[in-house]
Structure 1
């Protein structure tokens, strides 16, 4: 009897579900309760305001680099397709070979006799502020050629971005995080020509200390050789620091 009653009750529920309801779209399916599989999958997270050039994860990463894309047009560029999404044209020549030998003589290192850290920090902060207010930011990412050292370039130059992407080795796909070398490249009519780089150690304990580098290039028309000169000198500095730490660790054993 109990089984029979259950079947009858189920039939009545089915009849009621078949009747039109003010809350149900006639085209949509209505459920009295969610399937168990949905409850197991967890809650969905959506970002309705995201679009090409506006990605929350990448914007937070740029904030960590000291640049806030005010105009909501910051493009992370890791492959040629990303250039097209940003409205740019990929280079037909890739990889791009760049001879930066002559440009290195004009690239100053922060903390040296030629450039103190205070002066470097002042110009670097000015560049970051102006980049934040740029109409668009193009951010090529990859590895330094022949290495696994990660690089991010943050620039407002639509002509430099394709060249720098072609210069860098393509890196494996990864989440948007900080890079070992970050270059800030600003083209602005009101900025003097400036090219410098800085290498600093970061880490909370001696065991996790590592070195990172930053390159700053500004001017009315920044050349790709200037940027590459800073990247190559930064890579050399990072390697020297790593070798020095290894030698020190060996001597203490």
Structure 2
């Protein structure tokens, strides 16, 4: 039985000979380095010595052992870090893009994801690893979330389908294999594209469409994609960002739902709702990436995922300004105004959009408290002396045009702008109501007092 298991672990098809050896009874097997063999203890002081054949494409004992540590026992071959042409030779095709697939997250404090219990995730993970272990070809890809190695999160993707890796190769940043293999705890992504469509229902997650679903466990640094979930790029990015957030934060980065642009020699950070970005094609042209998600640190700015310019730098300089695009049709917010660091943290926390609040400008799942992010942002803005500005993207009932917004954004780099002061209206009342009634905004706001006293944490009044 032990030899059968051993053969599975090292890829099968091993030549064996018998010999006697004195085995350490405390170990299940011992390595005989001189002959490059594995000796397994037998009951009658016998051992079967298995000689490793030469490694080749799809056969790597080190990789097989690493996968076994993640619950996947290689049945036949495991291919590692194949490039796009090689993936296509193994049957990879470009999949039709999907969107809006269900997301289940354990450990998320914000966002619209459904909950998944520890027991449910464990049961699902067991089914997924068993499924991947049953296929003849396993595909493994290493990458990173975050373009800069100073504060990124290493990722290992284990898939039953080369098409899934072809899709994620346009999302994850490339990273040296050594960076992942020597990481004591990289994020692990399991993709089971051909698993039974009823898997979610079996583990108690309810009925899902045949297209698939996402399941993440923040504590285990693990993400599962079932069915064709890999074709839902937005869902993949949201869940990858959620799982990576604690790692990035621990390495000194602040994961933010923001975008950035480069104007001349200056980098500008932009917090803005998606509909504003989509309605401003002129702004899209100067954004480094139209996708939301970046890491802000004392080293500079790094996009979370691959951008349209693959030849761009891995790390951009510290922002020359930070802009919060708000939306207010009542006329209470001025077109553009300068914020103090405390006011910037306050507006970031609220994410005010025409009567609605989007804390930290984030709609995706996240295990990080918005207040903690606001305090980290405040600290960095103060430390680096980064100026911040508020832009109102609405002129009455009309949305500003892309050209007007670009002009407003660039004005923060060259003009002396007035400090923020709200005009007539009940905008201050709405903000106070938001802070005093934060229970309605999700699990992260369960402690009302903590958020009512937010002004004490940022030490400045939000309005002039």
Aligned-pair CA distance for 1:83: 3.5
Q: Which has the higher contact order (CA 8 A, sep 6+)?
A: 1
Counterpart residue number, 1:59: 64
Mapped partners of 2:182, 2:58: distance in 1: 17
Q: Do the aligned residues in 1 keep the contact of 2:98 with 2:232 (CA within 8 Å)?
A: no
Gaps of 5+ in 1: 1-41, 92-97, 201-211, 248-253
Provide the TM-score with structure 2 as the length reference.
Answer: 0.34
Structure whose CA Rg is larger: 1
More strand per residue:
2
Q: Secondary structure at the match of 2:192?
A: strand
CA distance in 2 between counterparts of 1:130 and 1:174 reads 27
Per-residue deviation, 1:144: 1.3
Question: Is 1:109 matched with 2:105?
Answer: yes
Distance in 2 separating the partners of 1:171 and 1:78: 13
Q: 1:109 to 1:82 in 2, by over 3 A?
A: same
1:58-99 superposed Cα distances (whole Å, 9 cap, x missing partner): 0000011111111x2111116447636x735698xxxxxx99
Counterpart for residue 232 of structure 1? 241
TM alignment of 1:9-88, pairs within 5 A: 45=36, 47-70=52-75, 72-77=76-81, 79-80=83-84, 83=87, 87=90
CA distance in 2, matches of 1:185, 1:173: 20
Task: Compare 153-162 and 220-229 and name the one that shifted more.
Answer: 220-229
- Who is 1:153 aligned against? 157
Higher helix share: 1
Aligned equivalents of 2:250 and 2:124: distance in 1? 25
2:146 matches 1:137: no
Count of residues in correspondence between the two structures: 182
Quick one: distance in 1 between partners of 2:77 and 2:248? 34
Q: Determine if contact 1:152/1:183 at 8 Å carries over to the other structure.
A: yes
Judge conservation of contact 2:229–2:236 (CA < 8 Å) in 1: no
TM-score (norm 1): 0.59
Contact in 2 for aligned 1:78/1:170 (Cα 8 Å): no
SS in 1 for 2:216: strand
Q: Distance in 2 between matches of 1:216 and 1:120?
A: 9
Which residue of 2 is the match for residue 194 of structure 1? 213
- The question of whether the paired residues in 1 share the 8 Å contact of 2:138 and 2:158 is answered with yes
Q: Can you list the C-alpha shifts for 1:205-230, whole angstroms capped at 9, x where unaligned? A: xxxxxxx5100111266424243332
Residue 223 (structure 2) aligned to one of 188, 200, 215: 215
Could you list the runs of 5+ residues in structure 2 that have no partner in the other structure? Answer: 1-32, 37-50, 109-113, 199-211, 253-367, 369-374, 376-464
Change (3 A) 1:219 1:90: closer
Distance 1:224 1:143 in 2: 19
Instruction: Give the conservation status (yes or no) of the 8 Å contact 1:77–1:165.
Output: no
Cα distance in 1 for residues equivalent to 2:222 and 2:35: 37
What secondary structure sits across from 1:194 in the alignment?
strand
Q: Distance in 2 between matches of 1:223 and 1:216?
A: 13
Segment drifting more, 218-227 vs 165-174: 218-227
Provide the C-alpha distance between the structure 1 equivalents of 2:83 and 2:178, rounded to a whole number of angstroms.
13
Q: Which runs of 4+ in 1 moved over 4 A?
A: 42-46, 78-82, 88-91, 240-244
Q: 1:237 to 1:170 in 2, by over 3 A?
A: same
- Within 2, Cα distance between the matches of 1:215 and 1:133? 20
Of 136-145 and 165-174, more deviation after overlay is shown by: 165-174
Counterpart in 2 of 1:183? 189
1:189 Cα deviation after fit? 5.5
